[in-house]
Amino acid sequence: MTVTLRSLEIAVPPTVLVQTEARDVFAAQPGLTRLGQRLVTTCFNSAAIDTRRTALAELSLSYRTENAKFFDAESGNMLSPSTKTRNDIFAAEATKLFIESARKAVDACEGIAPEDITHVITVSCTGFFNPGPDYKVVRALGLNPSVQRFHLGFMGCYAAFPAMRAAKSFCDADPDAVVLVVSAELCSLHVRTSNDPDTIMGSSLFADGAAAAVITARDLPGNAPGIQLDHFETILTPVGEESMAWNIGDEGFEMVLGTYVPHIIDDHIVGALEPLLAHDPGLAGQAYRDIEHWAIHPGGRSILDKVEAKLDLTEEQLVPARETLRNWGNMSSATVMFVLKHIMDQPFRGGNERICSMAFGPGLTVETGLFTRVGGPVTPAATDGAAEGTAAEGTVAEGTAAEQDPANPAVPAPAGV
């Protein structure tokens, strides 16, 4: 019996953040030191991001309101709303993305209707409310009220993997199960101005978005593209517990992004892949680049650079991750799903194309998955929906991370999470 991801759809809020405009806004904030200004410029310029999305319409330079909470467009100043204010917006705006992406995924899955869904797994680390997003999805899509519901909260950027692994376990236990996995993150809610390098890095990188997938072992009609979920593994690196963290503060959630994170990944990525690839003896002794597709969570440019160099991958194999980062930014747990959609939408050459996927998060945790791309007409002109990003006029932005800028050793250059 094989368990397959049968449909994968995304949803993003309408407000576009243009990276260069966001950089200028953050660099002009009162209270920044000269070093802080240099850090802002370096982090934003080095993030390899063009545009991101936010659920906060007031972050647009063209938006005007008499009750600004995050950004006063008249003065150009960033504001500091409370954690409650941010979380209230999460409850309203994240719900929209959870429902939109979930509905699109179910509608796109041939042979599956809302009444077929047996399990719902929702994922987010950027807010909390109850009845939660799992409940909201069931009600909005008219699912059976007895559907089994689960929410994975506050795990971080790797959380899509535990969600997919749980979905596979449900389907392995019940061949008739149909699991709806939905991840939505509003990282921009926690943006703030600061001289702290971790805060600046987060402001240059993080964004908002959602992704939903239908996962089942059922035989379905048609020949739509899918991803067979073969194996998952989890590794905790022996160092790095203090290098990446996600804490709750009085003025939003606070990201800790140690500048050494890319080096930790560089040191331990081969060891993290060993237990995963051991599941398939046919991969033993092969070069990593012989695996057709690599779906890497684009935590930041430096992480992708480290992965590409350490595993000797081709530039083409990192295109799905780099294009996701460039057009959408880092949307925490939803991001790797965008990368997988990019791969699913590519022309299908036939046969069984393998996918090796991984994401990194607090701990330092490395989640990995070995998949097989199946189905779909051979070599069609695919629509690269996940890689299309449109730049809008006049917007503010957020986030990335850091190594060293060779032009100025005092200024870290973005690394990522």
Active-site residue set: 157
Report the C-alpha gap between 103 and 109 in whole angstroms. Answer: 10
**In 153-164, which positions are buried (b, 16+ CB within 10 angstroms) versus exposed (e)?**
eebbbbbbbbbb
Angle between helical axes of 133-141 and 83-108 (0-180°, round to 10): 40
Cα(42)–Cα(399) distance, integer angstroms: 11
- 90 sits in which H/E element: helix 83-108
Place of tokens 């209270």: 31
CA distance linking residue 297 with residue 304, whole number of Å: 8
Closest CA to 263 of 218, 292, 305, 220: 305
Residues 178/6, Cβ–Cβ less than 8 Å = no
Strand partners, 408: 405
The burial class, CB within 10 Å (0-12 / 13-18 / 19+), for 7 is buried
Q: Report which of 332, 266, 321, 249 is spatially closest to residue 83, judged by C-alpha positions.
A: 249
The first and second tokens of residue 48, run together, are 């390899």
Place of tokens 């239908």: 214
Q: 247 forms bridges with which residues in the sheet?
A: 254
